[in-house]
Structure 1
Amino acid sequence: MAERVMYLQLKTGYNTDRGPAWIARVRFTRSWRTAYVYGRTLARVTGTARANFDSNFCDVDTGETFWMCGPKRDRTDGRYTSRQPLVDEDAREPYEAFLDGSPLPGRESG
């Protein structure tokens, strides 16, 4: 299973970019359509099945929606807010190295 350091934000129940956000290690299936983080199973949502334009993953058990993407070096992960995400301890070292110019683990070639 592939593992990546990702930006993750809860969208359900919050206005645009107001939900809690994290930098976390996320595991993905081979197809990249299912993600596992914080004991949750998140399924990728695309096309007409998408709950709203502001999310790309949905918790299969609760229906909560999330936005997940790779982190940005300029720390502008939230599109309409400057609020910084919480950084999980197990993701801190590779995330800080990434901010200093190193590639993220698993993304060395792009």
Structure 2
Amino acid sequence: MSTPRTRIMYIEDKSTSLNGQARIGRVVYSKSGRSLTYDGRTFQSLSGRGFKANYFETETGDHFWISGPRRDGQDRLYGGTQPVVVDADVAKAYWTSIRGVKVPTGTRP
């Protein structure tokens, strides 16, 4: 049995505004790679049909921007001042491997 393919990703909710709640977390890809799962929710690609979003949540239809996190941390499409939450289970890998810095003080790796 093969291990599911996972990746640390940036996930921003676009269902209510262009600058929605955002997180850095680990997604799990389906066997076919056509969908991904995060926090018990399944997402499918909008295949270029979305407005400032590239995935939709299959249960609610809500739109999301999901992409690989940037090394400079500027993941939001429209900047913004809202915080981006980094999930505790990926914090160490995100800060050291992706951002290339020490884990910030007060962050629980």
Partners of 2:62 and 2:21 lie apart in 1 by 13
State TM-score, norm by structure 1.
0.80
Partners of 1:92 and 1:30 lie apart in 2 by 26
Q: Deviations over 1:17-58 (max 9, x none)?
A: x100000000012332201001101111114xx2x3211111
Match of 1:2 in 2: 5
Percent pairwise identity = 33
Letter in 1 for 2:63: T
Partners of 1:76 and 1:82 lie apart in 2 by 10
Secondary structure of the residue aligned to 2:89 is helix
5+ residue gaps, structure 2, are 102-109
Kindly indicate which of the two structures has a greater share of residues assigned to helix: 1
Match of 1:73 in 2: 71
Answering whether residue 85 of structure 2 is matched by residue 86 of structure 1, we say yes
Deviates more, 1:24-33 or 1:85-94: 24-33
Q: Give the number of the structure with larger relative contact order, counting CA–CA contacts within 8 Å between residues 6 or more apart.
A: 1
Residues paired across the two proteins, number? 96
Contact 1:25/1:91, CA 8 A, preserved across alignment:
yes
Match of 2:26 in 1: 25
Match of 2:56 in 1: 58
Give 4+ residue runs of structure 1 displaced > 6 Å after superposition.
none
Secondary structure of the residue aligned to 1:89 is coil
Q: CA deviation at 1:82?
A: 4.2
5+ residue gaps, structure 1, are 102-110
Mapping 1:27-46, distance limit 5 Å: 27-46=28-47
RMSD of aligned residue pairs (Cα, Å): 1.4
